[in-house]
Amino acid sequence: MRMRIRVATLDDVGKIMNLHTIGENFSGHSVMERYSKGGPWMSLETLAIHLNNLLLDGQLVAIAELDGNVVGEVEVLFSEEPILGEMRRIAHIDVIEVHPDYRGKGIGRSLLEFVEEIARENRAEFMTVQPDEEAEGFYERLGFNMELFTGRIVRVPGKGKGQTTKRRFSWEDVKELELVAGHFQSSYSMWFSAFKDNIAGIHYTLETGRSSESYYAIRNLPGRKGCALLLWGRLEDLSPVLKRTGDLGFNNVLTTVPMDVMGLGAEKIREIKILGKKLN
């Protein structure tokens, strides 16, 4: 068997969906129910939109094929954003999936080697990833030995003080600011999800605006109560945004905060970290 790794196209949507839904039984489930279980990869309708959004934005989607079957997929977003206090060009591994029957056979490694080659061609200075805990060793063996961010996913009450102002904003407005709340993935990945990867009626941004010197986005949580919150700028501007989520009727707000931030009445869900590999 010969493995081939190549850039994906929209013609690959069905095979990529099959990869992500192995072992799932979605008979009789609506598109919303599928999405709520595992994101846009769970149905053709939402995955086609998601992949199209990535490709139109010039981002990288690559697949590994064996005998015409997709056995691995990776999605990478390129951006320039603050890394260790300086603006750096990065290639952020947003999603990677390998067929369960082929794990441990070098497919993940081959996908990342393919990504690294393209990252170097695009003059990226770092490759970054927010790995599952059980995958940290895999990335460390491939040279991801820098901890660029450590934090906690938390659920906080929709309560605070202060005023916000509704307005849209561009990536240029926030690219040089730290993503101080909602750092689930890279800063650009989170901005992309809020402004370029909405799926009507399923996963979308409810409101964007300013809180003093900071910028915020409030997003729905498909199939769940509450909302998600992103904040670029200063943590001291978080309280008015929490108040705004309460005004919108949300009692619970999902976000991330740096590990050293305490209080806020936060319920810790789990810890996360973003690892980096410097590209010489």
Q: Do 3-148 and 150-273 come out as alike in CATH topology?
A: yes
When the candidates are 1.10.1200, 3.20.20, 3.40.630, 3.10.20, the CATH number that belongs to 150-273 is 3.40.630
Given CATH 3.30.70.270, say whether it is the number of domain 3-148.
no
For 97, 108, 116, 134, the CA distances from 102, given in Å and listed in that order, are 11, 9, 21, 17
For residues 160 and 238, the answer to whether their CB atoms sit within 8 Å is yes
For 11, 97, 129, 141, 280, the CA distances from 107, given in Å and listed in that order, are 21, 10, 17, 15, 24
> 3-state DSSP call for residue 122?
coil
Residue 91 pLDDT = 98
Residue 263 predicted with pLDDT over 70: yes
Residue 121 pLDDT = 97
The structural domains of the chain, with segments of one domain joined by +, span 3-148, 150-273
Which of 242, 229, 231 minimizes the C-alpha distance to 178?
Answer: 231
What percentage of the chain exceeds 70 in pLDDT?
100
The CA distance from 14 to 51, in Å, is 11
- The single residue listed with the structure tokens 């060009």 is 89
Of the listed ranges 63-77, 81-95, 192-206, 256-270, the one predicted with least confidence: 256-270
Question: Is the pTM above the cut of 0.75?
Answer: yes
Residue-wise pLDDT tens digits, 19-64: 999 999 998 999 999 999 999 999 999 999 999 999 999 999 999 9
Q: Pairing mode, if any, of strands 126-129 and 86-98?
A: parallel
Residue 1 pLDDT = 63
Query: Whole-angstrom distance between the N-terminal and C-terminal Cα of the chain?
Result: 34
